[in-house]
């Protein structure tokens, strides 16, 4: 399973004139051949960005039916039901702050935490610089992932 960053979906839906769009679209069209996932935090980030361009109805559809729009698995926060809530929250916050201390934004820290905890084979993003040297996971662009896989 690979974890996908929000930029893949934002480019696909809202930026057809972006220089990356054709290559991004090629990747999106192959999603049904890839075991791909996003965390619930990534979905919330996507919805936050999309809220500027979507109606309330469309936004709710994306939030609750995103896997019908794109063939990806939506992952719950890792370990959420494995410990009492207060204990989980303390551990979760500690792990997120640990990543933030590596000079990451909150969004990137959440994405990376989930990808690492789920043990994905790679994190796929157009913003590789945001994750490089901050994890042992392979950080690949959609192009690089497709070249390595197909």
Confidence of residue 150 (pLDDT cuts 50, 70, 90): confident
What DSSP character marks residue 39?
E
Q: How many domains does the chain have?
A: 1
- Give me the domain span that covers residue 82: 2-149
Measured distance CA(70)–CA(32) in Å, rounded = 8
Give the 3-state DSSP-derived string for 88-130, with helices as H, strands as E and coil as C.
HHHHHHHHHHHHHCCCCCHHHHHHHHHHHHHCCCEEECCCHHH
pLDDT tens per residue, range 24-47: 999 999 999 999 999 999 999 999
Q: What is the dihedral of CA 71, 4, 31, 68, to 10 degrees?
A: 10
pLDDT tens per residue, range 47-103: 999 999 999 999 999 999 999 999 999 999 999 988 789 999 999 999 999 999 999
Q: What is the CATH number of the domain that holds 140?
A: 3.40.50.1010
């Amino acid at each position: 399973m690979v974890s996908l960053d929000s930029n893949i979906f934002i480019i696909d839906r809202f930026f057809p004139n972006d220089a990356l769009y054709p290559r991004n679209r090629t990747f999106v069209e192959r999603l049904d051949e890839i075991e791909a996932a996003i965390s619930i935090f990534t979905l919330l980030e996507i919805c936050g960005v999309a809220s500027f361009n979507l109606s309330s109805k469309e936004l709710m559809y994306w939030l609750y039916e995103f896997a019908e729009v794109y063939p990806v698995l939506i992952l719950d926060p890792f370990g959420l039901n494995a410990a009492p809530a207060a204990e989980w929250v303390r551990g979760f916050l500690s792990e997120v702050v640990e990543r933030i201390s590596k000079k990451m934004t909150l969004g990137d820290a959440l994405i990376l935490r989930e990808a690492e905890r789920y043990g994905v084979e790679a994190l796929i993003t157009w913003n590789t610089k945001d994750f490089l040297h901050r994890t042992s996971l392979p950080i690949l662009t959609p192009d690089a992932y497709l070249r390595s896989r197909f």
